[in-house]
């Protein structure tokens, strides 16, 4: 038996022995809260299943568990995991396949909207969001500062926002930007906002204020980001009795998956399917 064959045999034997529950949803390095929330959703769905699951704790979850304490019941520390517990690498992000709308909304009602801290963030956001406010979420950060991410996620944000403004023409009177790079938004996006519309600053203390601003937006344009999608999911539940228009999303998420199309999207949302010149970055975006 070769060394590789021996290692494969040992690996399969360990996998066969690992049958204990809860199943561990093994979190990989480099993930953020948007990805984790899909895993917590999966763990919540499994509570009534013979194969319950828990999400492996990572240090960057700490502020989210503090803000949403009920998520702690769906999380497990590495020190609590036995050798015989089954592991699973799972993404769980496809709308209508990995989860249904009712399951998603149930999770949001019972694990996110129950948070007193989120309630306070929502209250502040509502006080600073006029009824005619269009909120535009823009993801920059490592999407554009890290070459491999830029090659996968970078696109013509200016062209996309221009199309969204045209599509929503007549339905808003002010604009606010929610972004990890507001200087970039001021330089490249404010000039394409019609002159007769006010740009209202978004005042934030933390990322949860950003999430709340998306959740209270009367009109909303999303980034190609799981964080952005979760803001829209929460908005759908928090404002389910309001008559606001569905959020707008780019029919572009990643060049490496699903032919660029986002798979996390609620089919009730509004798609910008294409923009002039295609999704590739233009020079102005640098």
Query: CA-to-CA distance for 254 and 84, rounded, in angstroms?
Result: 36
Residue 4's pLDDT is what? 57
Cβ burial, residue 61 (10 Å; 0-12/13-18/19+)? buried
| Contact (Cβ atoms closer than 8 angstroms) between residue 172 and residue 197 | yes
Query: CA-to-CA distance for 61 and 135, rounded, in angstroms?
Result: 26
| Contact (Cβ atoms closer than 8 angstroms) between residue 87 and residue 18 | yes
Query: CA-to-CA distance for 229 and 222, rounded, in angstroms?
Result: 7
Please, what's the largest Cα pairwise distance for the chain? 76
Phi, psi angles (nearest 5°) of residue 57: -65, 135
Rounded to two decimals, what is the model's pTM?
0.91
The more confidently predicted of residues 13 and 283 is 283
Cβ burial, residue 29 (10 Å; 0-12/13-18/19+)? exposed
Query: CA-to-CA distance for 157 and 150, rounded, in angstroms?
Result: 12
Bridge partners (DSSP) listed for residue 174? 133, 198
Could you say which DSSP state residue 224 is in? S
Respond yes or no on whether the N-terminal peptide bond of residue 22 is cis (omega within 30° of 0): yes
H or E stretch at 40: helix 33-45
Could you say which DSSP state residue 103 is in? H
For 114-157, the pLDDT digits (tens) are: 999 999 999 999 999 999 999 999 999 999 999 999 999 999 99
CA-based nearest residue to 234, from 210, 218, 211, 266: 211
Of the chain, the percentage scoring pLDDT greater than 70 comes to: 92
For 238-248, the pLDDT digits (tens) are: 998 777 889 99
Indicate where the chain has its CATH 3.40.50 domain(s).
Answer: 117-285
CATH code for 117-285?
Answer: 3.40.50
| Mean pLDDT over the full length of the chain | 90
Residue 251's pLDDT is what? 96
Confidence tier at 182 by pLDDT (50, 70, 90)? very high
Confidence tier at 82 by pLDDT (50, 70, 90)? confident
Confidence tier at 16 by pLDDT (50, 70, 90)? very low
CA-based nearest residue to 138, from 155, 118, 115: 155
The residue-averaged pLDDT of 58-86 equals 93
């Amino acid at each position: 038996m070769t060394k590789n064959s021996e290692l494969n045999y040992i690996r399969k034997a360990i996998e066969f022995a690992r049958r204990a529950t809860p199943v561990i949803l093994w979190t990989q390095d480099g993930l953020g809260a948007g990805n984790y929330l899909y895993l917590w959703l999966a763990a919540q769905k499994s509570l009534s299943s013979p194969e319950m699951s828990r999400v492996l704790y990572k240090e960057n979850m700490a502020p989210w568990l503090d803000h949403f304490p009920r998520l702690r019941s769906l999380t497990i520390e590495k020190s609590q995991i036995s050798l015989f517990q089954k592991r699973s690498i799972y993404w769980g992000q496809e709308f209508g396949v990995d989860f249904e709308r009712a399951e998603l909304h149930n999770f949001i009602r019972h694990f996110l909207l129950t948070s007193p801290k989120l309630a306070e963030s929502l209250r502040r956001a509502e006080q600073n969001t006029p009824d005619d406010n269009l909120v535009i979420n823009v993801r920059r950060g490592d999407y554009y500062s890290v070459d491999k991410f830029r090659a996968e996620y970078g696109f013509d944000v200016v062209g996309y926002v221009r199309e969204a403004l045209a599509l929503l023409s007549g339905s808003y009177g002010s604009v606010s930007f929610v972004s990890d790079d507001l200087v970039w938004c001021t330089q490249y996006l404010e000039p394409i906002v019609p002159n007769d519309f006010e740009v209202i600053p978004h005042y934030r203390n933390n990322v949860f204020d950003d999430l709340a601003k998306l959740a209270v937006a009367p009109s909303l344009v999303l980034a190609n980001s799981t964080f952005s999608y979760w803001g829209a999911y929460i908005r759908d539940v928090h404002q389910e009795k309001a008559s606001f228009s569905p959020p707008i999303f780019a029919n572009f998420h990643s060049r490496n998956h699903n032919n660029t199309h986002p798979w996390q999207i609620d089919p009730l949302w509004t798609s910008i399917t294409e923009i002039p010149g295609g999704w590739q970055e233009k020079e102005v975006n640098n």
